[in-house]
A = this chain, B = another copy of it.
């Protein structure tokens, strides 16, 4: 997940030689903003401040509350990493920030009366969010330590773990006003008899991308795709393949229309598709089939984890993506049909492929 050519070196490169998107990375004043924008982009594996900026604007397009919380989450998580003097290379790539974004958005989304727009958090809730975002920094480093020897990235696991732990407790404190979850979190909660129509598809795919950031807005979803495409067209394509594949699988197996249109079956699959489709695996026909396999399994397992969590009424978050992608990445090192890209060398699918094909032809 590190950031391309200039990542590991402390080389003295004239700022003007840098590609536009890397120009402010080591700037004394703007550097931190650059890292934070990258942090927003890293939610969908894009180590590029422009991607982060477009995604941030896409969130503001849906709701100013979510846009602001997104900024709060990434600033707190990245700031915590600075306070603790974490690895500078990881910080500059925005890797300490993206879980903070997600945990902030999740805590607001699931405690607001209106999931779609979100509500301004109370002071105790804001304190709670700040602690949760800061905690993701510690969990990220802990998982990086555990997974490092296996050359597998932490993915959004710090968010899932922290998110669950902080969501479970939030309803139990009188100082935090929150009703029961306003948002359905399991396929059971949708009407099974509704027919599939055209909006099931185009709204379902857009919403799936939006749901990665808890945005119930299919236009926001397509704007996020634009943000991804700025950095990698393959990743943008994979996100769409993942979301569309999930809708297809859910329709073929008779999943409830409401859950499909809402993007619930697809947001995990879209992330699995980006991760396996060229990012942590060199893109070949074989790895593309491997990715399709992962999309199908991720889609089914969303229903599975939803049911497991139903007795306590908790949302799945991106746990299915994390679980399936971890298993498929851990497995890959034993399969000669696949060409793994270690996290420290993963940049973009295009670049991974170029480097690999280069090394083959030479």
Contacts and interface: CB of A to CB of B under 8 A. Distances in A.
19 contacts: A84-B335, A86-B336, A134-B293, A138-B331, A141-B331, A145-B150, A165-B305, A165-B323, A168-B303, A168-B305, A168-B307, A169-B301, A169-B303, A173-B254, A173-B300, A175-B252, A175-B253, A176-B254, A310-B312
A116 to B, nearest CB: 25
Given A138-B327, A304-B166, A311-B312, A293 B172 contact: no
Interface in A150-171: 150, 164-169, 171
Given A146-B150, A192-B174, A334 B141 contact: yes
| Identical chains bound together, number | 3
Task: State which size class the interface on A falls in.
Answer: 35 or more
Main secondary structure of the interface of A (DSSP, over half): helix
Interface in A107-149: 124, 128, 131, 134-135, 137-146, 149
A297 interface: yes
A178 interface: no
Nearest to A333: B145
Interface string A181-209: 00000011000100000000000000000
Contacts of A144: 334
Interface string A235-260: 00000000000000000111100000
Contacts of A143: 330
A252 to B, nearest CB: 7
Interface in A304-342: 304-305, 307-308, 310-312, 323, 326-328, 330-331, 333-338
